[in-house]
Structure 1
Amino acid sequence: MDIQLIRNATVKIKFGEKTWLVDPFLGDMGSLPPFAGKSPNPVVPLPVPISEILEDVDYVLLTHLHPDHFDERARQAVPTSVPFVVQPADAEAIKEMGFSKINVIDQEDQLGMVKISRVGAQHGDGEILKVMGAVSGYILETRDEPPLYITGDTVWCDSVKETLDRYNPGVVICNAGGNVFLPEDNPFREQISLKHIHQVIMDEKQVLKLLTYREQISVVAVHIGALDHETVSRKSLKEYLRTSGIDMRQVYVPEDGEMIKLN
């Protein structure tokens, strides 16, 4: 299994003799507005050309349709001939964008040598869930490789624990930037009023819970270093896990563009 972090949650994976592009977010620096009032997003450029990112892609897999997971530039750049793998909530929107090869994963499906199962994800807690929309994680399984768990945008919750218990993945790609939305810089102010800070994906404390809940897993931490509402850096995550006694040989915190090869 080869895993290349592109940027944010955009990951290119070789698994089951296919190449999967997860959540392509391909816009230029500053192409999206601020999420925390600090800076337009993304705050860093792509590490490689878009043509290289799309090279040899067999499937685009979407966890959800927030613009930092599938943006206008990706809609323009991904050929309409590329098959998509999506949750039911996003199928009609992807069809309306002009993509016709759409694999809708309600519970599970077989795509070539890979069995793909959709699993629960919780994009925050409490009031913020009213505006977060549907989000999914996925389990990919094939012969001769450990099951791969793509968490999607989720906090540590019962759905994550249930997925770990049921599928016993060997590798987890975890969105771990600890991203938050603030009452004073609330991008959803026309829809809801936020009374306190809302964390919407895992931070270092929740990644630690993941690693101690299933001690044998390898974790690839992504969704770090690209957006203005993160609370976790690569350095802070590694330091926190190291000082908490985690064997760092089971943790990967890749830089943008970095390739990880897992046997």
Structure 2
Amino acid sequence: MKKVLLAVAFTLTATFSFAQGKTNTKASLQLIRNATIVLEYAGHKILVDPMLSPKGTIESWGGVERNPTVELKMPVSDITNNLDLVMVTHSHADHFDEAASKALPKTIALMYQPSDKDFFAKEGFTNATAVEDNHTWKNLNIHRVAAQHGTGEVLKMMGKTSGYVLQAKNLPTVYVVGDAIWTEEIKKTIKTYKPDYIIVNSGGAVMKGFEQTPILMEEEQTMALIRESGKAKVIAVHMNALDHCRTTRASLRKKADELKISPKKLLIPQDGETIVL
């Protein structure tokens, strides 16, 4: 009888270990809208840059129409249910809005850049961590890297923003660039971490009155990133949802086609679409 019980226990342990390993070797990305994504990664559901407001409830930033310009494709509860972690690149309303603050439990594990400490304290999140550089959370390695949200006077207006590199055992390395223009620093980050996937905000956004100064990568800058991306697949988001974004999915694909960049190299998901990593 003892031998039978031991055999059963061993079998259950092996099965559990296999299931755990199997779960942790699967990863996916779902584009929710704009820069809001859900990563299933290392057994965790991770929400990045939640903008959860209904269509037209936020002011216009480009003088065209109120934001966001499209509705969510799913209920907010589908996005927030069973979350393990929230990661925020910066606290602009198109990356963390009032609707997100209300929808998320104040005890959720949340990570942010140090310059947003006062913002998240004011919002009442009690399990929030400022990521200075490298940070370990459970079975994840998280590296925060600075991003440049424009140039000159516009950069002063935009303030600080960040990106994150996520790594876990037996999983692809994922680089979430955040709101940024193409810089040598991003090129260095790609060379340092050699990501398997790069998530880039390619909306080509500009602020009203500063139309010649992009605050996000547009078609040309996204192509420059692709040229330096190595083995990585590039996933372009932050398009077709805000009134100050000039680059669209169609214009980005057109530029990629002109340069013979394959859809397997540059992935441009629709809202609600899931990509297996």
Q: What's the TM-score, normalizing by structure 1? A: 0.93
CA distance in structure 2 between the partners assigned to 1:112 and 1:250 by the alignment? 31
- Code of the aligned partner of 1:37: G
- Runs of 4 or more consecutive aligned structure 1 residues displaced over 2 Å after TM superposition: none
8 A contact 1:31–1:40 mirrored in 2? yes
Q: Secondary structure at the match of 2:243?
A: coil
| Deviation for aligned residue 1:197 | 2.3
Give 2:69's match in structure 1, choosing from 39, 43, 52.
43
8 A contact 1:182–1:198 mirrored in 2? no
- Code of the aligned partner of 1:251: L
Structure with more helix by fraction: 2
Greater shift, 70-79 or 196-205, is seen at 196-205
Q: Which residue of 2 aligns with 1:119?
A: 145
- How many residues matched? 251
Q: Which residue of 2 aligns with 1:155?
A: 181
Relative contact order, CA 8 A, sep 6+: which one is greater?
1
| Deviation for aligned residue 1:232 | 1.0
CA distance in structure 2 between the partners assigned to 1:40 and 1:5 by the alignment? 21
Distance change (3 Å), C-alpha of 1:246 and 1:215: farther
Q: Which residue of 2 aligns with 1:248?
A: 263
Q: Which residue of 1 aligns with 2:6?
A: none
Q: Which residue of 2 aligns with 1:191?
A: none
For 1:55-70, list aligned pairs within 5 A.
55-70=81-96
CA distance in structure 1 between the partners assigned to 2:95 and 2:88 by the alignment? 8
For 1:147-186, list aligned pairs within 5 A.
147-183=173-209
| Deviation for aligned residue 1:102 | 1.0
For 1:93-132, list aligned pairs within 5 A.
93-132=119-158
- Code of the aligned partner of 1:61: M
| Deviation for aligned residue 1:214 | 2.0
Q: Which residue of 1 aligns with 2:47?
A: 21
Q: Which residue of 1 aligns with 2:225?
A: 210
- Code of the aligned partner of 2:230: E
Q: Which residue of 1 aligns with 2:252?
A: 237
% of aligned pairs identical? Answer: 37
| Deviation for aligned residue 1:83 | 0.8
Give 2:215's match in structure 1, choosing from 200, 207, 224.
200
For 1:130-149, list aligned pairs within 5 A.
130-149=156-175
Deviation per CA, 1:122-149, whole angstroms, max 9, x where unpaired? 0011110111111000000111112100
Q: What's the TM-score, normalizing by structure 2? A: 0.88
Deviation per CA, 1:67-101, whole angstroms, max 9, x where unpaired? 01111111111111211011111122212211100
Deviation per CA, 1:152-193, whole angstroms, max 9, x where unpaired? 00000122111111111110111001111131xxxxxxxxxx
CA distance in structure 2 between the partners assigned to 1:158 and 1:40 by the alignment? 34
CA-based RMSD: 1.1
Larger radius of gyration: 2
8 A contact 1:176–1:202 mirrored in 2? yes
8 A contact 1:182–1:197 mirrored in 2? no
8 A contact 1:5–1:257 mirrored in 2? yes
Distance change (3 Å), C-alpha of 1:167 and 1:215: closer
Q: Which residue of 2 aligns with 1:91?
A: 117
List runs of 5+ in structure 2 lacking aligned partners: 1-26
List runs of 5+ in structure 1 lacking aligned partners: 184-193
